[in-house]
């Protein structure tokens, strides 16, 4: 028997805590409304988990953590439906109880959720004056370590704005493949088919606020578009690929930036796209095939292993020096919490320091393969100072033949004319994009040029 939408949502929520549990695929749910409901319940429950957990704890006689993962997530799910979605308590309670077969579990879930229903208007919060970090952690439902880092970096007011933006589901943003169609033409096609869509901030972007599965969009099989945040699009603009360039995208999966680079080259030039294993390489190849691009070479390799990379290039009779290199580095991903709310609870502060070591090794490899006069762009989708300014400062100090360049100078006019443009936090050769300022994911984009032999950094403009 097919599970209800709430049953599927509960399975997915539980799988985040029990990795061995194989969660059903939301894309396999045939009904658009059921699929949307599952997305809303799963993402919303994850988004507001800290606030929900604190609220639920007041109705339990034992620690919330002592409950089984399935019961724990059922209580979260039902509370989210009542507290945030505004679903009538009788409907939220009964539909959640129906997810269980055992009488003891049904009775327990029913009792707790009914108690929650009787006290919906009584959510207690810590004092913002006494402890802004604790207040924001509960009110906006983030781990305390993450909140305190943001406050240290941005100040209380900006940090709260960042947290609010991180809890606002973003529209689906499409990058239009202008080799296959036009932005305005494709926008009209979407609207005629009932999609709520508008032109984005870039000449190649469209924002879809309500629609069906991406695979069901018109033009998907024809390669008319790629799903990509505008911040990610700006990374390619910062790289400035030009016709005839030989470009390496070092950590390329799932292929969004690789295919954007190839589209800009328009068949005149070549992109080498790599990632660490065969599965990720296949993801890139799938994107390349769907967009019908032919100027991309894909292979699986650890980009920190310079000798292996060189051997792979030589085996394919490809040059071993590149005009431009993009390192969109593996990172903590904290700039993407608005679309990946589970990151709040899976990411650990210690992960940041592990990422930094790999990022440095990848940059060393990039420096090795970039030809003199070539351009390097280092980007992340996180906002931690260690992974961003810290790594970039280390790179410029250790690689004396690189000079920073302002990535903002390469951004398109359509971006420079929008709200928030020019307000990027900047430093030597880098800028930040922030969701509450720019409406994008949080991004760090840094740029440098490798000097020519005999060139002095004193005469290079940065």
Q: Is the dihedral of CA 301, 305, 306, 310 positive or negative?
A: negative
Q: What is the DSSP string of 287-339?
A: HHHHTT--SEEEEE--TT-HHHHHHHHHHTT--S-EEEEEEE-----GGGTTT
441 labeled part of a ligand binding site:
no
Which one of 138, 367, 381, 411 is the catalytic residue? 381
252 labeled part of a ligand binding site:
yes
Structure tokens at 24: 């059903």
SS3 content of the chain, % helix, strand, coil (to 5): 50, 15, 35
Q: Is the dihedral of CA 222, 224, 226, 232 positive or negative?
A: positive
Is residue 381 annotated as a catalytic residue, yes or no?
Answer: yes
Burial of 104: CB neighbours in 10 Å, binned 0-12, 13-18, 19+: exposed
257 labeled part of a ligand binding site:
yes
- Alpha-carbon torsion angle 22, 26, 30, 32, nearest 10: 160
d(C-alpha 232, C-alpha 96), whole Å: 38
Return the bridge partners of 208, or none.
172, 197
For the stretch 15-29, what's the b/e string if a residue is b when 16 or more beta carbons lie within 10 angstroms of its beta carbon?
bbeeeeeebeebeeb
Q: 160: closest CA among 170, 171, 148?
A: 148
221 labeled part of a ligand binding site:
no
Structure tokens at 48: 């507001």
256 labeled part of a ligand binding site:
yes
d(C-alpha 360, C-alpha 247), whole Å: 20
d(C-alpha 356, C-alpha 385), whole Å: 10
| 12 CB-near residues (< 8 Å, 6+ apart) | 23, 24, 26, 38, 42
Give Cα separations from 140 to 169, 171, 257 (angstroms).
14, 20, 32
d(C-alpha 92, C-alpha 95), whole Å: 5
The residue length of the chain stands at 462
Structure tokens at 306: 């310079």
Q: Is the dihedral of CA 278, 326, 324, 207 positive or negative?
A: positive
d(C-alpha 293, C-alpha 179), whole Å: 10
d(C-alpha 390, C-alpha 413), whole Å: 30
253 labeled part of a ligand binding site:
yes
Structure tokens at 279: 């599965």
| Binding-site residue ranges | 251-257, 275, 302, 328
| Binding-site residue ranges for S-adenosyl-L-methionine | 251-257, 275, 302, 328
* Residues with catalytic roles: 381
């Amino acid at each position: 028997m097919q599970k209800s939408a709430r049953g599927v949502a509960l399975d997915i929520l539980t799988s985040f805590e029990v990795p061995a549990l194989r969660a059903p695929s939301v894309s396999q749910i045939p009904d658009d409304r059921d699929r949307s409901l599952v997305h809303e319940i799963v993402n919303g429950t994850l988004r507001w988990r800290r606030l929900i957990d604190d609220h639920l704890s007041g109705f339990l006689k034992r620690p919330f953590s002592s409950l089984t993962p399935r019961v724990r997530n059922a209580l979260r799910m039902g509370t989210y439906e009542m507290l945030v979605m505004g679903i009538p308590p009788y409907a939220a309670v009964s539909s959640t109880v129906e997810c269980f077969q055992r009488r003891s579990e049904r009775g327990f879930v029913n009792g707790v959720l009914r108690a929650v229903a009787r006290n919906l208007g009584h959510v207690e919060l810590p004092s913002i004056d006494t402890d802004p970090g604790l207040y924001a952690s509960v009110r906006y439902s983030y781990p305390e370590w993450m909140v305190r880092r943001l406050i240290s970096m941005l100040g209380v007011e900006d940090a709260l704005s960042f947290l609010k933006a991180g809890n606002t589901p973003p529209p689906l943003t499409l990058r239009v493949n202008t080799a296959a169609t036009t932005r305005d033409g494709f926008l009209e096609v979407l609207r005629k088919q009932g999609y709520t869509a508008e032109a984005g901030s870039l000449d190649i972007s469209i924002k879809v606020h309500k629609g069906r599965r991406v695979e069901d969009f018109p033009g998907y099989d024809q390669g008319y578009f790629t799903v990509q945040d505008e911040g990610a699009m700006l990374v390619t603009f910062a790289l400035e690929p030009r016709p005839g360039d030989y470009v390496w995208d070092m950590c390329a999966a799932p292929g969004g930036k690789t295919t954007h680079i190839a589209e800009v080259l328009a068949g005149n030039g070549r992109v080498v796209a790599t990632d660490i294993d065969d599965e990720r390489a296949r993801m890139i190849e799938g994107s390349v095939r769907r967009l019908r691009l032919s100027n991309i070479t894909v292979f699986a390799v650890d980009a920190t292993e310079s000798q292996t990379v060189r051997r792979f290039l030589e085996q394919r009779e490809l040059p071993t020096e590149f005009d431009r290199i993009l390192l969109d580095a593996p990172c903590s991903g904290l700039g993407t919490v608005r679309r990946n709310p589970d990151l709040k609870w899976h990411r650990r502060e210690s992960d940041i320091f592990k990422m930094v070591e790999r990022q440095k090794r990848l940059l060393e490899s990039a420096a090795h393969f970039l030809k003199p006069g070539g351009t390097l762009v280092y980007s992340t989708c996180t906002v931690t100072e260690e992974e961003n300014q810290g790594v970039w400062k280390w790179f410029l100090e250790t690689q004396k033949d690189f000079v920073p360049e302002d990535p903002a100078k390469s951004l398109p006019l359509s971006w420079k004319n929008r709200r928030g443009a020019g307000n990027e936090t900047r430093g030597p050769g880098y800028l930040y994009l922030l969701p509450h300022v720019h409406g994008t994911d949080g991004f760090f984009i840094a740029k440098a040029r490798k000097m020519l032999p005999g060139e002095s950094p004193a005469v290079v403009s940065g």
